């Protein structure tokens, strides 16, 4: 394993993310916006951002078009995120976060633009061709609206055939179909795992059973993130499983924490053959992401403090 492994991140549906900060929200009354912050967003962009922070050589592939696309590209350049753009006839989307001074945060994701079939085929081909020559390929985020549900499945199949290590982080039917193509690592959260299993997972035993089934489908590694409860890393073929517990922290933000976890896992995979090292870096990085505003990166001092507090234990009960 090497820290200089070449990594392609494929983000088929990126966005510009916008956070509006407000006072306490009042229904049917005027609510004042106190501030607005904008940054390049979407799961694949977040993964690339944290991979760069971890010192990994990664290159992003994403569609860019319209006024919002130009803003997205400018933001990526300003951050030093290396990327290749596929021209998009339609503009990119904008997603909104509303963060009141008290109460829960609200998130609104656009369901447009809807791409034409010809544009979806062109983007899929570009994603496939752009991955050639990379050791690792990460497919991250939702599919563009209008894309076929088997888009990721086809891309994963081609990458696996080329002998590349594939990491998959999406949900719904797109995840179900792509998981059958045997990616090296998949990263569902608890909700996404239950969605894949087609049933609720009320107990740890149910979660273990679903994770085992998923690993038996992919024949690879399954990383189930569980928020403040940490994560489960499981591999059915070798009957290996570990759980990680993050240190107790005051959560400032959860946007992008799962994507930071993916970045940490891939960086760990590139640097070590020890799964506990992958898991420690994954959970450490994901926890670090909760300490900074969305779209921002943490200091090294914060990272070192949090990583030292991650607790990992072997989990034989996952196979009982």
Q: Distance of alpha carbon 7 from its chain centroid, rounded?
A: 14
| Residue 86 domain-assigned (yes or no) | yes
Average pLDDT on 5-20 reads 94
The count of domains in the chain is 1
Question: Taking 90 as the threshold, does the pLDDT of residue 149 lie above it?
Answer: yes
Separation of alpha carbons 250 and 312, rounded Å: 20
Separation of alpha carbons 177 and 152, rounded Å: 8
Separation of alpha carbons 278 and 35, rounded Å: 38
CB atoms under 10 Å from CB of 225, counted, come to 24
Side-chain-side CA neighbours of 244 within 13 Å: the count stands at: 32
pLDDT tens for 155-204 read 999 999 999 999 999 999 999 999 999 999 999 999 999 999 999 999 99
Mean pLDDT, the chain, whole residue set = 94
> What per-residue confidence (pLDDT) applies to 228?
87
**Among the listed residues 83, 77, 103, the one whose alpha carbon sits nearest the alpha carbon of residue 9:** 83
pLDDT tens for 204-242 read 999 999 999 999 999 999 999 999 899 999 999 999 999
| Residue 34 domain-assigned (yes or no) | no
Question: Taking 60 as the threshold, does the pLDDT of residue 3 lie above it?
Answer: no
> What per-residue confidence (pLDDT) applies to 5?
59
The band of 250, judged by pLDDT with boundaries at 50, 70 and 90, is: confident
| Residue 184 domain-assigned (yes or no) | yes
> What per-residue confidence (pLDDT) applies to 109?
92
Lowest mean pLDDT among 38-52, 115-129, 285-299: 285-299
Q: Which residues pair with 18 in a beta bridge?
A: 38, 96
The structure tokens listed for 116 are 């034409």
Sheet holding 15-22, edge to edge: 33-41, 15-22, 93-100, 106-108
Measured distance between the N- and C-terminal CA atoms of the chain, rounded to whole angstroms: 32
All residues at 6 or more sequence positions from 69 whose CB lies less than 8 Å from its CB, including other chains: 63, 85, 88, 91, 92
Separation of alpha carbons 10 and 261, rounded Å: 16
> Who wins on pLDDT, 83 or 301?
83
Separation of alpha carbons 123 and 88, rounded Å: 8
| Residue 171 domain-assigned (yes or no) | yes
Q: Distance of alpha carbon 152 from its chain centroid, rounded?
A: 14
| Residue 320 domain-assigned (yes or no) | no
User: In CATH, what number is assigned to the domain containing residue 240?
Assistant: 3.40.1190.20
> Who wins on pLDDT, 250 or 47?
47
Q: Which residues pair with 114 in a beta bridge?
A: 145
For 2-37, the three-class secondary structure string (H helix, E strand, C coil) is CCCCCEEEECCCCEEEEEEEECCCCCCCCCCEEEEE
- Residue 90 contacts residue 68 (beta carbons within 8 Å): no
pTM (2 d.p.): 0.94
If residue 298 lies in a helix (H) or strand (E), which one and from where to where?
Answer: none
> What per-residue confidence (pLDDT) applies to 191?
96
> Who wins on pLDDT, 295 or 64?
64
| Residue 231 domain-assigned (yes or no) | yes
Separation of alpha carbons 220 and 234, rounded Å: 9
Domain holding 201, by residue range, is: 7-13+46-90+117-315
Q: What share of the chain is helix, strand, coil (3-state, %, to 5)?
A: 40, 25, 35
| Residue 41 domain-assigned (yes or no) | no
Separation of alpha carbons 51 and 71, rounded Å: 22
| Residue 99 domain-assigned (yes or no) | no
Q: Strand locations in 164-308, DSSP E?
A: 165-169, 185-186, 221-225, 231-235, 240-245
pLDDT tens for 63-95 read 999 999 999 999 999 999 999 999 998 899 999
Question: Taking 60 as the threshold, does the pLDDT of residue 4 lie above it?
Answer: no
């Amino acid at each position: 394993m090497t820290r200089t492994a070449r990594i392609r991140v494929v983000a088929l549906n990126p966005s510009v993310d916008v956070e509006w900060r407000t006072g306490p929200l009042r229904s049917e009354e005027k609510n004042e916006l106190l501030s607005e912050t904008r940054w390049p967003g979407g799961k694949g962009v977040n993964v690339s951002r944290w991979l760069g922070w971890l010192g990994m050589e990664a290159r992003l592939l994403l569609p860019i078009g319209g006024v919002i696309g130009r803003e997205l590209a400018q933001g990526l350049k300003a951050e030093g995120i290396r990327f290749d753009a596929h021209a998009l006839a339609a503009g990119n989307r904008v997603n909104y976060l509303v963060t009141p001074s008290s109460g829960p945060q609200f998130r609104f994701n656009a369901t447009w633009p809807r791409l034409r079939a010809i544009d979806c085929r062109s983007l899929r081909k570009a994603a496939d061709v752009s991955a050639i020559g990379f050791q690792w390929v990460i497919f991250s985020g939702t599919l563009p609206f209008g894309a076929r549900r088997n888009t990721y499945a086809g891309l994963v199949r081609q990458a696996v055939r080329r002998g590349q290590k594939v990491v998959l982080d999406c949900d719904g039917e797109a995840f179900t179909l792509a998981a059958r193509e045997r990616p090296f690592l998949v990263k569902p959260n608890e909700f996404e795992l239950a969605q894949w299993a087609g049933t609720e997972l009320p107990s740890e035993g149910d979660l273990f059973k679903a994770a085992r089934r998923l690993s038996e489908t992919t024949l690879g590694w399954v990383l189930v993130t569980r928020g403040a409860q940490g994560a489960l890393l499981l591999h059915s073929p070798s009957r290996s499983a570990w759980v990680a517990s993050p240190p107790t922290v005051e959560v400032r933000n959860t946007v992008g924490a799962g994507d930071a976890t993916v970045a940490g896992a891939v960086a760990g995979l590139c640097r070590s053959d020890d799964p506990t090292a992958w898991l420690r870096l994954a959970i450490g990085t994901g926890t670090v992401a909760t300490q900074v505003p969305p779209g921002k990166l943490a200091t090294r001092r914060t990272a070192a403090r949090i990583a030292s507090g991650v607790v990992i234990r072997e989990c034989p009960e996952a196979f009982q």
